[in-house]
Structure 1
Amino acid sequence: MFIRIVKMTFHEDKIEDFLTNFHQVKEKIRNTTGNSLLELYQDKNNPCIFFTYSYWNEEQDLENYRNSDLFKEVWSYTKTLFKDKPEAWSVDKKVSLE
């Protein structure tokens, strides 16, 4: 399993547009083959900054999603709302304490 972290900075007047769209597609993203968790975070100090954390069983699962019509639709809309270039990381979980 690995985690994909995406940082997105939106124009302030586009935050509600992003959230509306995210809530419409979040279940579809979460139910993509190989996805085991999807979370959305908003920065406490800068409300224009959001992070998605998605957990994937295999790297190929993420690649399949990134090549899907769903991703193309979601990303083509989302990127029109950005204030800054998004950043993304793929990381392996090393330790988790609950």
Structure 2
Amino acid sequence: MKTMTAKEVETQLNEGKTLNIIDVRETDEVAAGKIPGAVNIPLGLVEFRMNELDKSKEYVMVCRSGGRSGRASQFLESQGYNVINMAGGMLDWEGKTE
């Protein structure tokens, strides 16, 4: 499983790179702040909503600490998706939130 640090994600966003970010936290957690542009698909719904994702794109998976996004990454990878887990999750995120 590929991983990226929160700092690496922030740097790429600041450089203007478009990242497809999927936040797998629960809705109430996301309400407290998410990475701008991130799409919320709670972990329990990933299996049912993966048809919304494009296998030709790369996705950065995010959660609170990196555990749930790691599970989502492993599952999506096993289904043929190109995913990167943001290690450390939102606990390590120092960039802007919305």
Fold-level match, TM-score > 0.5? no
- Identify the structure with the greater strand proportion: 1
Query: Which has the higher relative contact order, 1 or 2, with Cα contacts under 8 A spaced 6 or more apart?
Result: 1
Pick the structure with greater CA Rg: 1
Task: Give me the TM-score of the superposition, normalised by structure 1.
Answer: 0.28
